[in-house]
């Protein structure tokens, strides 16, 4: 019975979100006359420099934008490649005690300009020319202070195709987004730092990255920080205007997920609760034939169609969940042993 209701609720929430969630698309984008700072930290991103910066240079409907790129101690040709583009190039410094590298880089990037809007973006993101203008237009139409247009997640390897679709499905099936907008709180806040836009005034009044120096989930914590200070915002479907391939191989994916999954659920109790829910909605229903498995399968298909990923991988949902459970446990073990690293830096 518990499986039936958990899976039914997940399907209902997914259907409501697919119908009602905010969308940043190509329609309705208007010219933005206010100043915009596009902020990109890069550490060993030689494979992404050209694609990322070319997509930004082709941005349209932005009357006063500047692009700031921070080379964060790269050991490859990232710094040289950045210099080939007409952008504001910054050289990063080692993070002070208590700061994580990316958070320190984002903090310094934000301090470098004076634009009304701050556009934080990862190097592996590719934007449509209207992406920034459309997102800011929608943000202002909604009366928001920040917006997180969730990019389409591109998967290459089989492991990526198993795990990456779970990113969007996990919140599409569990967080009633419109209710979260009306009654904002930390537990229902969703954000993705791959493409995140915030008004400078809100960023500075809330404390910005300086208020979350050691947070491994800096994007989520920044959104929570803004919400806690009374600012409005949320996630939107940005799959029509942005795309991202987070990892290029299985090793990167495993390291990428384990660096933060230990913190993703708020602590040991939250982690145990997440394992319980994932098992009873993702594995247990598939041990037999019945409605619960059908509910979850439909929720995966709907989420995939909405976010422009391949719905065929819904058939492999229990395998994906088993892999995710393994990554959650591995993350907790690495955290307890102090062996978490990312891009050559210790995180523990």
Tell me the whole-structure pTM to 2 decimals. Answer: 0.95
The percentage of the chain sitting over the pLDDT mark of 70, rounded to a whole number, equals 99
Rounded Cα–Cα distance for residues 98 and 108 (Å): 15
Do residues 142 and 184 lie in contact, with contact meaning Cβ atoms separated by under 8 Å?
no
Q: What is the residue extent of each domain of the chain?
A: 2-20+250-336, 32-244
Q: What is the pLDDT of residue 254?
A: 95
Candidates 236, 239, 21, 243; CA nearest to 137 is: 236
Q: How far apart are the first and last CA of the chain?
A: 41
Evaluate whether 52 touches 194 at the Cβ level (below 8 Å). Answer: no
Residue 114 has pLDDT above 90, yes or no: yes
Residue given tokens 């229903």 in the structure block: 285
**Reported confidence tier of residue 348, pLDDT bands at 50, 70, 90:** low
* Contact assessment for residue 54 and residue 84, using Cβ atoms and an 8 Å cutoff: no
Let me know: does 183 contact 233? Beta carbons within 8 Å: no
pLDDT at 139 over 90: yes
pLDDT score, position 267? 80
Looking at the predicted structure, is the pLDDT value of residue 289 above 80? no
- What confidence category does residue 20 fall into, taking pLDDT thresholds of 50, 70 and 90? very high
What is the band of 177 on the pLDDT scale with cuts at 50, 70, 90?
A: very high
The residue among 74, 298, 287 whose CA lies nearest residue 173 is 298
Mean confidence (pLDDT) of the chain: 95
Question: What is the third-level CATH fold of 32-244?
Answer: Spore Coat Polysaccharide Biosynthesis Protein SpsA; Chain A (3.90.550)
Region 103-115: mean pLDDT is 97
- Residue-wise pLDDT tens digits, 295-340: 999 999 999 999 999 999 999 999 999 999 999 999 999 999 989 8
């Amino acid at each position: 019975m518990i499986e039936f209701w958990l899976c039914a609720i997940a399907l209902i929430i997914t259907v409501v979100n697919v119908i009602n969630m905010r969308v940043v698309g190509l329609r309705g984008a208007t010219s933005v006359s206010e100043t915009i700072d596009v902020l990109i930290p890069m550490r060993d991103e030689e494979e992404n420099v050209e694609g990322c910066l070319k997509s930004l240079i082709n941005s349209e409907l932005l009357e006063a934008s500047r692009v700031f790129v921070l080379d964060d101690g790269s050991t490859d040709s990232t710094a040289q490649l950045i210099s080939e583009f007409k952008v504001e190039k910054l050289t990063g410094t080692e993070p002070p005690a208590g700061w994580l590298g990316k958070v320190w880089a984002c903090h310094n990037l934000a301090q470098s300009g004076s634009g009304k809007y701050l556009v934080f973006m990862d190097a592996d993101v590719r934007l449509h020319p209207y992406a920034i203008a459309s997102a800011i237009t929608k943000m202002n139409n909604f009366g928001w202070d920040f917006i997180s247009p969730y990019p389409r997640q591109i998967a290459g390897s089989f492991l990526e195709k198993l795990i990456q679709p779970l990113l969007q499905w996990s919140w599409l099936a569990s967080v009633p987004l419109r209710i979260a907008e009306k009654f904002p709180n930390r537990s229902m806040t969703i954000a993705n730092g791959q493409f995140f836009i915030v008004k400078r005034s809100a960023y500075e009044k809330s404390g910005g990255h300086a208020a979350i120096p050691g947070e491994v989930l800096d994007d989520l914590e920044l959104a929570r920080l803004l919400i806690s200070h009374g600012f409005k915002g949320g996630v939107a479907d940005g799959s029509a205007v942005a795309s991202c391939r987070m990892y290029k191989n299985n090793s990167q994916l495993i390291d990428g997920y384990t660096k933060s999954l230990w913190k993703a659920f708020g602590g040991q109790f939250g982690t145990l609760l997440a394992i319980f829910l994932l098992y009873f909605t993702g594995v247990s229903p598939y041990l037999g034939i019945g409605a619960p498995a059908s509910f979850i399968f439909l929720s995966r298909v709907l989420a995939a169609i909405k976010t422009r990923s391949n719905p065929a991988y819904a058939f492999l949902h229990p395998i994906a969940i088993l892999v995710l459970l393994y990554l959650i446990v591995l993350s907790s073990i690495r955290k307890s042993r102090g062996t978490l690293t990312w891009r050559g830096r210790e995180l523990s």
